[in-house]
Amino acid sequence: MPRVLGYTFEADVHCADCAVQAAAAGGRLAADSGGPLGTDEHGLPFALRDREGNPVRPVFSTDEAEGLRCGCCGAPLAD
């Protein structure tokens, strides 16, 4: 089963830990009330939007994520 390695938002890719922190900080990510209900394996709502109004997309372990690094902390998005 594919796992969520990170997320894309604010025109960059972010590790799961930084995405959770961005959601908790308020203002950077917000739940989209029109989207599906529930949360993913990291506790983030399935429907999130960044502060620019763009949808937050997961990066799965089955995606071409080799060499990707978090835009916040620099950690590699590795499986």
pLDDT in tens, 52-64: 999 999 999 999 8
Whether residue 11 has pLDDT greater than 90: yes
In sequence order, what E strands does the chain have? 4-9, 12-15, 29-31, 48-50, 57-60
Reported pTM: 0.91
| Whole-Å CA distances, 2 to 26, 46, 66 | 28, 15, 15
Question: What are the structure tokens assigned to 39, written together?
Answer: 């949360």
pLDDT tens digits, one per residue of 13-28: 999 999 999 999 888 9
